Structure 1
Amino acid sequence: MCRHLAYLGPEEPLGRLLVEPPHGLYRQSWAPRRQRYGTVNADGFGVGWYAPGDPAPARYRRSGPIWADLSFADLARVVRSGAVLAAVRDATLAGADAEAAAAPFAAGRWLFSHNGLIAGWPDAAAPLVSALPPVELLSLQARTDSAFVWALVLHRLRAGQPPQRALGEPVRELARAAPASRLNLLLSDGDTITATAWGDSLWYRAEPGRSTVVASEPYDDDPLWREVPDRTVLTASRAGVRLAPLEDPAAVPSKEPCR
């Protein structure tokens, strides 16, 4: 169910991050190597990126497969950024809400993606509806499980919670309400990346002080790639990566050094 990627580092053309790698997000749209559920991610795609001096990211999203969009090929060749979040989509419910349902979702400086599904959607998520003010429910960007997860995360960010907690709390609550859910979340503000591994693959590649990539799966065979254990929250910057058990996202990071 979907593949996504976030990057922090020196400015690169979008194509160098998403299209050119031998197993990049572009190829993962039809031939992922480590996707555990589904094999084709053709129900939409999106990329968000940050420009110097502007905290609000730009986005390009479409409802069809990334390989069929010739305009994206041109855009990816010339647009450069040092902070990117992108996703290709395998819809829980095909056809729902067109490109409005395609990640990344955005609000202010934040970009967000969900790889997975809420099991038993929408019935299983009903107990969590009361956590959101009515106006936030009425403002959902799409009628999908991913848009609902984003609303839960954004509500916490707006309340001042740190990203690690804003992702970790909804994951635990949704996992209690719908235990078979897959909840790999990815969040960036252009300076940091926060992600959860819950039910599907997650990897990172870090060159401390230079760049960090967090992705559903490696886009090449570089030995720097490391797999994130399941039920983990990851926090990253250009300086490196920290991992902590997702059961307690406020815990002190693990002893694994920044790489």
Structure 2
Amino acid sequence: MCRHLAYVGPPLSLADLLSSPAHGLFTQSWAPRRQRHGTVNADGFGVGWYAEGDPVPARYRRAGPIWADRSFADVARVTSSRAVLAAVRSATSGMTPEESAAAPYAHGPWLFSHNGRVEGWPDALEILAASLPPARLLTLEAQVDSALLWALVLERLTAGDPAADALARVAADVRSVTGGRLNFLLTNGTSIAATAAGDTLCWRTVPGGVIVASEPFDDGPGWHDVPDNSVLTATNSHVDIRPIPVPGKEQTPS
């Protein structure tokens, strides 16, 4: 449904991460190599990044394909950051094509992306939506499943859950009421959390940093696939992967 990527580490240009690699997100917008659902990602794109000394990220989002935005090519060439989250979108039929539906979604220091879809949207998530404060629902950025999933994740973060736990909890909660593909990607500018739940996910360390992505952006060594039904936490010095808890089953502490 989409392809996404997150990076933390020494400053790199957006072009180095997205358009310069032979199979970066720019190329994945029309020729993904591992995408299981859909063939192109031309229904919008977005990039979020952090300026030095500012914990609140900037965003650049558009409703059209990334290859058609010549202005972004200039922005990417001259903009560098220590942390980036970007996505190219393949919209689910019946969901809004507007710019507001393009990831990343943002709140405070957080950037979030969802690669996948919720089956039976929107009725299937009525129970989970009812658990949210009205103010959270009223401030949804778009009327799409990804925006509601972000609201559920943000509610867990606000309650004090660590990032990986918030993602795993929401993935498990959604699976308790319906099916779907729930690959999430989340960063606060210093670490990355992600789920592999129905689609591909991989990671690779780079000097002083780490990249987490839907698929490798080159054919170089060091890419690792994340097992399905897993949650990942990554910093510039450490990567941890564990299973997503199964709804209704007690998990043994590790």
Equivalent in the alignment of 1:229: 227
TM-score normalized with structure 1 length: 0.93
Alpha-carbon deviations, 1:93-143, whole Å to 9, x = none? 356151110000000000000000001111111121121011111111100
- Write out per-residue CA displacement over residues 67-97 of structure 1, whole angstroms, 9 at most, x where no aligned residue: 0000000000000011000000011135615
| Residue 28 of structure 1: aligned partner | 28
- Secondary structure (helix, strand or coil) at the match of 2:34 reads coil
What is the one-letter code of the residue matched to 1:232? S
Q: 1:157 to 1:74 in 2, by over 3 A?
A: same
Corresponding residue number in structure 1 for 2:177: 177
Q: What is the distance in 1 between the residues matched to 2:124 and 2:95?
A: 21
RMSD over aligned Cα atoms: 1.6
- List alignment gaps of at least 5 residues for structure 1: 254-259
8 Å CA contact 1:8–1:191 kept in 2: the answer is yes
Aligned residue number for residue 149 of structure 2: 149
Match of 1:163 in 2: 163
SS in 1 for 2:54: coil
Aligned sequence identity (%): 58
- In structure 2, what residue type is equivalent to 1:26? F
Kept in 1: contact 2:245–2:251 (CA 8 A): no
Mapped partners of 2:136, 2:77: distance in 1: 37
Structure 2: 5+ residue runs without aligned partners?
none
Contact 1:188/1:194, CA 8 A, preserved across alignment:
yes
User: How far off its partner does 1:240 sit?
Assistant: 2.1
The DSSP-based 3-state class of the residue aligned with 1:172 is helix
1:237 to 1:144, Cα distance in 2 relative to 1, 3 A: same
CA contact (8 A) 1:105 1:112 kept: yes
In 2, the alpha carbon distance for the partners of 1:76 and 1:252 equals: 43
Q: Which amino acid aligns with 2:205?
A: A
Whether the 8 Å contact between 1:97 and 1:142 is mirrored in structure 2 is no
Question: Does structure 2 conserve the Cα–Cα contact (< 8 Å) formed by 1:194 and 1:235?
Answer: yes
